[in-house]
């Protein structure tokens, strides 16, 4: 499942309290639902084939298109864009006879959604009860929807990534001026994006990629399904990773139209909009995740973990692997046209704890190769395969969307807020801080306006949440050992939404589909059912697939 991840199947199976009324949760810059300038359009559906091998629901996939405003904040504009949608029809009859649809966003920001839904329709129907049509669209900036690019092709993009890398800020891993150099690289990237989008039409598109715009697109789909397909006009939604941020945003904009929302693998919205980086708290559980995988390795033995006989305890194995990172940092080696250094090794470690199910046994073989200095060409091929699997393809949508959403900009590499946010990320994890803290600079001097961005704060300066009351309670879901969206963020975001609940999974990996859980599926089906069944707050679900199991999901 893509939650800034690859497919389920295959390689990676990849802050004064603001008490506000429902009306004031919606920025006045947006047109209202009843504004005649946003007349509801009909979705044009037709059968299509995603060539999903072995999928019994392949013949039930429809593709659709919907015309929506290009800029919801400009009531004088008649410009539009066309959303590309996909639908997997319900597999069970509705108990009430009423047609209903569930919308999805699988993460990023920047991943297209249609292919992901088509590839995983069986599992998604299984998790949601089968009575919903499952619907997704490729968000603005992704796939063919006003695609955002900073380079003419993937070759230029890869060359730029090599010449303007996000540096590892671990002391000794880069030059002494790594922070300043990393900042300069980020500004150079912004300059390239500005230069590539000099054409007025491209500039206009680059300014309407924000999550606030995509949230309004979601509701345009809901409006169309209500007007032309007799649905209830309310949002039923499952958002994963960045999709949780999108879900929180649409819930803040349209709280009285939220019928069922599962937000899964939670991004802290205050951090996303009002701090540098994606989420300065995103790595809080990463060290625990790494240690947990090592502990399970010793329990499972060498039949499925190639590292199980190296040390007798998990702390000793951790020390061995971190010493290996330091060794490659001090003495890099070349293999298969790449340099294996400490950053390279940590990149493998973070991916396998983010998307563990199905790849950890194989990954331990290559990690052992690194320890022994053997088959390094194979290690490089494995690293390449991992990162190709999570690639967003020939676009720069992640940067375009995330940076356009930022409320803040830096004044230079000495900007104190930027320094504080970078240090916060760096110090939140012993193992991965240096690897990922450098992303804090990526949007520091972004050149585009980002129209319709969500600018309200979610917490005040003392950390007290604002209060938003939605029509029906939201369910927030987090994994105890999620290395990039910690349960702490689920608890924090739940405190904003009155009556919401938190489901904690005793699980590894990123979001709920990283490890199958019958308990989780039962909770989801109950929540999405005709008579909503809410779990007790902070209910804990166990999982039924271990990180060293190769079998993955039913269906």
pTM: 0.91
Q: Looking at residue 52, what is its pLDDT?
A: 65
- pLDDT above 50: residue 552: no
pLDDT interval class at 427 (50, 70, 90)? very high
- pLDDT above 90: residue 4: no
**pLDDT tens readout for residues 322-348:** 999 999 999 999 999 999 999 999 999
From the list 97, 101, 78, 74, the residue with the least C-alpha distance to 88 is: 101
pLDDT interval class at 554 (50, 70, 90)? very low
- pLDDT above 90: residue 246: yes
Q: Looking at residue 54, what is its pLDDT?
A: 59
If one counts every other C-beta atom within 10 angstroms of the C-beta of residue 359, the result is 23
**pLDDT tens readout for residues 476-486:** 999 999 999 99
**pLDDT tens readout for residues 181-192:** 999 999 999 999
- pLDDT above 60: residue 13: no
Q: Looking at residue 175, what is its pLDDT?
A: 72
Count Cβ atoms within 10 A of the Cβ of residue 536 and give its class: 0-12 exposed, 13-18 middle, 19 or more buried: exposed
Q: Looking at residue 32, what is its pLDDT?
A: 39
**pLDDT tens readout for residues 253-309:** 999 999 999 999 999 999 999 999 999 999 999 999 999 999 999 999 999 999 999
User: Residue length, the chain?
Assistant: 555
Q: Looking at residue 104, what is its pLDDT?
A: 98
CB-based contact 401:210 (threshold 8 Å): yes
Residue of higher predicted confidence among 2 and 446: 446
- pLDDT above 80: residue 550: no
Peptide bond into 426 cis (omega under 30): no
Among 14-18, 387-391, 456-460, where is mean pLDDT lowest?
A: 14-18
Mean pLDDT of 36-64: 78
Kindly state the helix (H) or strand (E) to which residue 188 belongs, with its residue range.
helix 178-196
Residue of higher predicted confidence among 546 and 355: 546
Mean per-residue pLDDT of the chain: 89
pLDDT interval class at 71 (50, 70, 90)? very high
**pLDDT tens readout for residues 469-509:** 999 999 999 999 999 999 999 999 999 999 999 999 999 99
CB-based contact 521:544 (threshold 8 Å): no
Q: Looking at residue 57, what is its pLDDT?
A: 73
pLDDT interval class at 198 (50, 70, 90)? very high
pLDDT interval class at 553 (50, 70, 90)? very low
Quickly count helices (H) and strands (E) in the chain.
18, 12
- pLDDT above 50: residue 69: yes
CB-based contact 106:2 (threshold 8 Å): yes
pLDDT interval class at 66 (50, 70, 90)? very high
Please give the backbone phi and psi of residue 483, each rounded to the nearest 5 degrees, phi first: -75, -10
Q: Looking at residue 388, what is its pLDDT?
A: 80
pLDDT interval class at 39 (50, 70, 90)? confident
Please give the backbone phi and psi of residue 397, each rounded to the nearest 5 degrees, phi first: -65, -40
If one counts every other C-beta atom within 10 angstroms of the C-beta of residue 49, the result is 10
Residue of higher predicted confidence among 356 and 514: 514
Portion of the chain with pLDDT greater than 70, in percent: 91
Backbone angle region of 525, left / alpha / beta, with phi > 0 → left and psi within -120 to 50 → alpha:
alpha
CA distances from 387 to 350, 391, 392 (A): 11, 6, 10
């Amino acid at each position: 499942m893509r939650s800034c991840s690859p497919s389920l199947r295959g390689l990676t199976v990849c802050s004064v309290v603001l008490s506000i009324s429902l009306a004031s949760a919606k920025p006045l810059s947006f047109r209202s639902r009843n504004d005649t300038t946003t007349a509801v359009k009909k979705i044009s559906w037709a059968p299509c084939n995603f060539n999903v091998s072995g999928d019994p629901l392949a013949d039930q996939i429809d593709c659709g298109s919907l015309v929506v405003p290009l800029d919801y904040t400009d009531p004088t504009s008649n410009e539009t864009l066309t959303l590309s949608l996909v639908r997997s029809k319900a597999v069970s009859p509705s108990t009430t006879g009423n047609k209903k649809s569930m919308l999805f966003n699988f993460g990023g920001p920047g991943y297209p959604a249609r292919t992901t839904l088509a590839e995983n329709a069986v599992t998604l129907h299984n998790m949601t009860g089968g009575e919903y049509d499952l619907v997704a669209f490729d968000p603005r900036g992704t796939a063919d929807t006003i695609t955002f690019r900073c380079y003419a092709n993937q070759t230029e993009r890869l060359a730029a990534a090599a010449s303007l890398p996000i540096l590892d800020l671990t002391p000794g891993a880069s030059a002494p001026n790594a922070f300043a150099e990393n900042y300069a690289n980020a500004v150079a990237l912004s300059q390239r994006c500005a230069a590539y989008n000099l054409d007025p039409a491209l500039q206009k598109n680059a300014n309407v990629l924000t999550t606030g715009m995509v949230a309004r697109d979601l509701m345009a789909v809901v409006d169309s399904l209500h007007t032309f397909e007799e649905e209830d006009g309310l949002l039923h939604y499952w958002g994963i990773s960045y999709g949780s941020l999108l879900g929180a945003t649409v819930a803040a904009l349209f709280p009285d139209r939220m019928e069922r929302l599962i937000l899964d693998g939670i991004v802290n919205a205050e951090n996303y909009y009002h701090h540098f980086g994606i989420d300065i708290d995103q790595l809080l559980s990463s060290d625990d995740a790494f240690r947990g995988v090592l502990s399970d390795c010793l329990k499972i033995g060498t039949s499925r973990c190639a590292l199980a006989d190296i040390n007798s305890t998990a702390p000793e194995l951790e020390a061995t692997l971190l010493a290996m990172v330091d060794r490659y940092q001090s003495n890099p080696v070349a293999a298969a046209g790449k340099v294996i250094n400490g950053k390279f090794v940590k990149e493998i470690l973070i991916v396998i704890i983010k998307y563990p199910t199905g790849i950890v046994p194989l990954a331990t073989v290559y990690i052992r190769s690194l320890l022994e200095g053997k088959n390094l060409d194979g290690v490089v091929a494995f690293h390449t395969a991992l990162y190709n699997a999570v690639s967003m393809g020939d676009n720069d949508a992640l940067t375009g969307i995330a940076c356009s959403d930022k409320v803040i900009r830096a004044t230079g590499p000495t900007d104190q807020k930027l320094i504080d946010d970078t240090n916060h990320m760096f110090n939140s994890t012993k193992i991965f801080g240096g690897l990922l803290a450098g992303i804090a600079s990526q949007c520091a001097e972004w050149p585009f306006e980002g129209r319709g961005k969500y600018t309200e704060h979610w917490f005040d300066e003392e950390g007290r949440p604002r209060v938003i009351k939605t029509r029906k309670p939201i369910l927030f879901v987090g994994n105890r050992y999620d290395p990039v969206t910690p349960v702490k963020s689920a608890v924090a975001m739940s405190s904003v939404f009155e009556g919401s609940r938190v489901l904690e999974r005793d699980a590894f990996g990123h979001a709920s589909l990283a490890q199958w859980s019958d308990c989780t599926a039962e909770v989801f089906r109950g929540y999405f059912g005709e008579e909503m069944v809410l779990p007790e707050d902070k209910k804990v679900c166990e999982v039924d697939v271990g990180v060293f199991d190769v079998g993955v999901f039913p269906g």
